[in-house]
Chain A
Amino acid sequence: DAGITQSPRHKVTETGTPVTLRCHQTENHRYMYWYRQDPGHGLRLIHYSYGVKDTDKGEVSDGYSVSRSKTEDFLLTLESATSSQTSVYFCAISEGDYGYTFGSGTRLTVV
């Protein structure tokens, strides 16, 4: 997964606490995405960004917010984590030329 890193790789948090996941890229790609992966649901788009400070909602955006203050960083925030947000979260980058590169994922457990 050269050029894209996610942190942390694993996190356990309590219900009701805020959580921020970070995606960092060194490819200078324009587009960045956050997906969640759950058994039986595949990969579902949460939010995406098409430039600095330009973001939009995806299919499952409720309960999540994002920010992109720099080209290289895309943050996903769970304002008040719930058990339904237990999932594996993937960040992806693209230059819009039809190819995605995914990060290694963050496994989040909300207890």
Chain B
Amino acid sequence: GENVEQHPSTLSVQEGDSAVIKCTYSDSASNYFPWYKQELGKGPQLIIDIRSNVGEKKDQRIAVTLNKTAKHFSLHITETQPEDSAVYFCAASNSGGGADGLTFGKGTHLIIQP
């Protein structure tokens, strides 16, 4: 089955700086790569996703890049703000997340230092 590795497990950055979280996946058939943000006491929330037919996607301060050859994808957050502090999860699926569900990385605790 699919295996997703996520690094780092904890990331501390100064407010206003950029943050990058990286994930690798094992199943070359995977075609859908979402990122989730989880705040304390809440369920994960989808913040951005990318499909295997594109290499990059942006949404305001957030961007995701995908390298299918190397089987890795990354989340980039620019101009970080205190409200960006949370746990971030990457995930992968070869069925669009429908039939077999998503396989998640173990999460990155992002800390924004004031």
Interface: B106 (CB within 8 A): yes
Give the distance in Å from the alpha carbon of A96 to the alpha carbon of B93 in the complex. Answer: 11
Assign chain A's interface to a size class: 20 to 34
Name the A residues within 8 Å of B42 (CB-CB).
1, 104-105
Assign chain B's interface to a size class: 20 to 34
Q: With A42-B104, A45-B101, A50-B99 in contact, is A98–B43 under 8 Å at CB?
A: no
| A-B contacts besides A40-B106, A42-B89, 20 pairs, CB < 8 Å | A33-B101, A41-B106, A42-B6, A43-B44, A45-B102, A45-B103, A58-B101, A59-B103, A92-B43, A94-B97, A95-B98, A96-B99, A97-B96, A98-B34, A98-B49, A98-B98, A99-B34, A99-B49, A100-B34, A103-B43
